[in-house]
Structure 1
Amino acid sequence: MIDVLVVDDDFRLVNIHRGFVERTPGFRAVASARTGEETLAALDEHRPDLVLLDLYLPDVFGLDLVRRMRAEGHETDVFVISAARESEAVRAAVRLGVVSYLLKPFGFDEFQERLEQYANRRAGLAMAVRDQADVDRAFARTGAATAMPKGFSTETAQLVEAALRDADGSLSAAECAERIGVSRVSARRYLEHLAERGRAEVALKYAGRGRPERRYRWR
């Protein structure tokens, strides 16, 4: 079983997310917290495998709490669940090794899918390493840079994916670029990469006599 600590300042969401965890096979909610201080105390007491972390806590910003956790020796994995849509927050989460970032609001199916992805990656990292191929497979499971095409950045890829997941409908390369702070050409490269992997759908939008606009939607 994967033990989970649920952290959110809204007690209603704590109860909902705990229920989601309990409905997912292989996971159990062992504790909850509503502040940074409560989170640190729960980490000491329960030693969970995973923390579901809201970023907007009353006493500390969630990513600052992650830094404090690491400084105090807590290596628990962190899964951010937040309404924070700023690209700076997503970039910081990537740099801090956050295993997933899910924007509120969301449904149970999407939540469960993310937990199952995490469980699969965790199981992959527990394998025996016999040669370079095993190392490469482990990095591919975590989405690390070795799994990306040459010239691609894992951090940018995750920003593009988050923007596409969060889009209300479809996005053009220009719209994606504006949201995450990269060039249109760069955004299009990453969007096309997602489409080639079957993770995004592409549709053409015709307007006037010019070249049709390519629009992307998360699958």
Structure 2
Amino acid sequence: MIRVLIVDDDFMVAKVHAAFVAALDGFEVVGTASTGAQALDEIGRLGPDLVLLDVYLPDMTGLEVLRRLRATGSPVDVVVISAARDVESIRSALHGGVLHYLVKPFDRRTFEDRLRGYAALRGELAALDVTGQGDVDRVFGGTRGGAAAAVVTPKGIAPETLELVRRALGAAAGDGLSASECSERTGLARVSARRYLEQLVAQQEADVRQRYGTAGRPERRFTLRPSAQG
């Protein structure tokens, strides 16, 4: 089992990433951290195999966390997950020995592909004894995935939050959710929850219907399509 620590100052993003990790066979989330200092403490205390590290943290950058880890000789594997796109951040991450650098926003499939690739690399290294050049080339090729493609979503629609709403809708009973119910389950404002629900409908991942009550305006109910459940 690969033990993962998630470092992100946005609790909602950390929650979504934790759900992604938990859904993958062979992975478990052992903790989360929202600051650089907390990340360093938790890495020392928990000894995770893999850290999913954001760059923008309130007390220090994730790159500073990475530098401190390497200065102390920590062997923990690191995947950077950040909106930082500048070359200097990417160069610093490479110098710190990160395995991947995922640029936000990205889709769930890209996230899962990177973690599955990491798991395959660990398995291959564990199985190797004496390596030839072909083995070395294969291992080093496996540590670098293709560039993560940005997800094209309308302005104001964050892929991580869209996934949170998708999961809430998927966990609902057969009658689905109204915007108010989705708001209660996700912590989003009602107007935001409705906008994300409507985006799922626009992407043909959800259906919407009117439910008529005894009085007042009809209620719009959203249900996730089976093909969108993962």
TM-score by length of 1: 0.64
Structure 1 CA distance for aligned equivalents of residues 131 and 81 of structure 2:
36
CA RMSD of the aligned region, Å? Answer: 2.2
**CA distance in 2 between partners of 1:86 and 1:167 (Å):** 18
2:149 to 160, 165, 177: 165
| TM superposition outliers: structure 1 runs of 4+ over 6 Å | none
- Identify if the C-alpha distance between structure 1 residues 167 and 86 changes in structure 2 by more than 3 Å, giving closer, same or farther: farther
Q: How big is the shift at 1:166?
A: 4.2
Aligned-partner residue type, residue 138 of structure 2:
A
Conserved? CA contact 1:43–1:74, under 8 Å: no
**Counterpart of 1:55 in 2: which secondary structure?**
coil
How much has 1:65 moved relative to structure 2?
A: 0.9
Q: Give the number of aligned pairs.
A: 152
State the percentage of identical aligned residues: 43
SS of structure 2 residue aligned to 1:75 = coil
Instruction: State how far apart, in whole Å, the 2-side matches of 1:4 and 1:138 are.
Output: 26
Structure number with larger C-alpha Rg: 2
1:84 aligns with 2:115: no
**Worse-superposed segment, 87-96 or 108-117:** 87-96
2:7 touches 2:54 (CA, 8 Å); kept in 1? yes
Q: What residue in structure 2 maps to residue 57 of structure 1? A: 57
How many angstroms does 1:167 deviate by? 8.9
Asked if the contact 1:55/1:81 (under 8 Å) is kept, the reply is: yes
The range that moved more, 55-64 or 67-76, is: 67-76
Instruction: Indicate how the Cα distance of structure 1 residues 54 and 105 shifts in structure 2: closer, same or farther if over 3 A, else same.
Output: same
One-letter amino acid of the structure 2 residue matched with residue 74 of structure 1? S
The CA distance in 1 between the partners of 2:131 and 2:116, in whole Å, is 27
1:165 counterpart SS class:
coil
